[in-house]
């Protein structure tokens, strides 16, 4: 598989459409789910996804086979999502003091006690304010440290931590509200 992928990448560097189609088919599901996490709605995710692949195919000659190709594509998609939000002025810098520091373990424990599908959680995450959602996605799903998130978004490390904390609080509020609604309808 790895040698086949290398051949496809080399063919993409030569602008061969069949290779581009195969690369697209191999990675589209995973990369579209990344775009969905960062986008306000399905249509925005589709636009970002398409833009991300266009960028990837234009920059594929820069891929030097150092590290994972999937990881390289994923970074392009994430950066495309961030840039799209930046253009919409969603990412405005607000210095906030960290009011409550929760550890990832505490947050994960709270989530484990509630049964929700990935799709349900994704919908709740989409309801977060864009600046909180960006930091939450980068920290939780992409596992970037706050220093890297701060660099990517042009914010301070403290603001990144604060936004993550507030995103967690809002997400837990949404989960609790939804849980109460589920119980009330039983």
Is the domain of 124 the same as that of 77? no
- Considering the domain boundaries, does residue 99 fall inside one? no
Is the domain of 29 the same as that of 68? yes
Angstrom distance (rounded) from CA 165 to CA 13: 42
Is the domain of 16 the same as that of 80? yes
Count of other CB atoms within 10 angstroms of residue 19 = 19
How would you class 4 by CB atoms within 10 Å of its CB: exposed for 0-12, middle for 13-18, buried for 19 or more? exposed
| Contact between residue 125 and residue 137 where contact means Cβ atoms under 8 Å apart | yes
Q: 169 by DSSP, 3-state: which?
A: helix
- Considering the domain boundaries, does residue 37 fall inside one? yes
Is the domain of 83 the same as that of 145? no
Is the domain of 77 the same as that of 112? no
Is the domain of 81 the same as that of 44? yes
The CATH number covering residue 114 comes to: 1.10.10.10
Boundary of a domain, candidates 24, 53, 87: 87
Is the domain of 122 the same as that of 68? no
Which helix or strand (DSSP H or E) is residue 153 part of? helix 146-153
Count how many domains the chain has. 2
pLDDT value at residue 89: 53
pLDDT value at residue 70: 95
What pLDDT digit, counting tens, does each position of 91-107 carry?
444 444 443 344 444 44
Is the domain of 71 the same as that of 111? no
What stretches in the chain show pLDDT beneath 50?
90-113
- Considering the domain boundaries, does residue 140 fall inside one? yes
Is the domain of 60 the same as that of 109? no
Q: Which domain holds residue 171?
A: 104-184
Is the domain of 124 the same as that of 72? no
pLDDT value at residue 1: 54
What pLDDT digit, counting tens, does each position of 115-141 carry?
678 788 888 898 999 889 999 999 999
pTM for this predicted structure: 0.71
- Considering the domain boundaries, does residue 59 fall inside one? yes
pLDDT value at residue 53: 96
Is the domain of 61 the same as that of 124? no
Is the domain of 60 the same as that of 111? no
């Amino acid at each position: 598989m790895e040698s086949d992928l290398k051949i496809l990448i080399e063919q993409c560097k030569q602008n061969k459409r069949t290779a581009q189609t195969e690369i697209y088919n191999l990675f589209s599901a995973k990369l579209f789910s990344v775009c969905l996490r960062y986008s306000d709605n399905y249509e925005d995710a589709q636009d970002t996804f398409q833009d991300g692949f266009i960028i990837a195919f234009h920059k594929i000659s820069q891929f030097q086979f150092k590290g994972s190709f999937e990881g390289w594509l994923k970074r392009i998609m994430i950066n495309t999502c961030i840039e799209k939000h930046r253009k919409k002025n969603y990412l405005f810098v607000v210095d906030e003091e960290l009011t409550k520091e929760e550890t990832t373990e505490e947050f994960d424990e709270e989530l484990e006690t509630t049964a929700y599908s990935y799709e349900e959680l994704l919908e709740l995450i989409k309801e977060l304010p864009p600046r909180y959602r960006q930091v939450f996605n980068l920290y939780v799903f992409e596992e970037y440290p706050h220093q890297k998130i701060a660099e990517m978004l042009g914010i301070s490390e403290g603001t990144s931590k604060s936004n993550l904390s507030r995103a967690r609080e809002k997400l837990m509020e949404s989960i609790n509200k939804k849980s109460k609604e589920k119980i009330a309808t039983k």
